[in-house]
Amino acid sequence: MKRLGVNIDHVATIRNARGEYHPSPFDAAIFVSKLGADSVTIHLREDRRHINDLDAKKICSIKRLFINLEISTNSAIVKTALKIKPNYVCIVPENRKEITTEGGLNLIKNKTKIKKIISKLKKKKIRTSLFINPSLKDVRISKQLKTDCIEIHTGKLSNLVKSKKKYHNELDKIKKSAKLAKSLNIKVHAGHGLDYTTTKILNRIKEIEEFNIGHFLIGESVFFGMKKVIKNFKKIIR
Question: CA-to-CA distance for 138 and 131, rounded, in angstroms?
Answer: 10
Catalytic status, residue 70: yes
Q: Render 118-182 in DSSP notation, one character per residue.
A: HHHHHHTT-EEEEEE-S-HHHHHHHHHTT-SEEEEE-HHHHHHHHTT---HHHHHHHHHHHHHHH
Catalytic status, residue 43: yes
Given the residues 10, 192, 207, 210, the one annotated as active site: 192
Given the residues 10, 43, 50, 153, the one annotated as active site: 43
Question: CA-to-CA distance for 172 and 107, rounded, in angstroms?
Answer: 21
Question: CA-to-CA distance for 226 and 103, rounded, in angstroms?
Answer: 27
Catalytic status, residue 189: no
Given the residues 10, 50, 70, 220, the one annotated as active site: 70
CB 39 within 8 A of CB 68: yes
Beta bridge partners of 42: 69
Question: What is the set of active-site residues?
Answer: 43, 70, 192
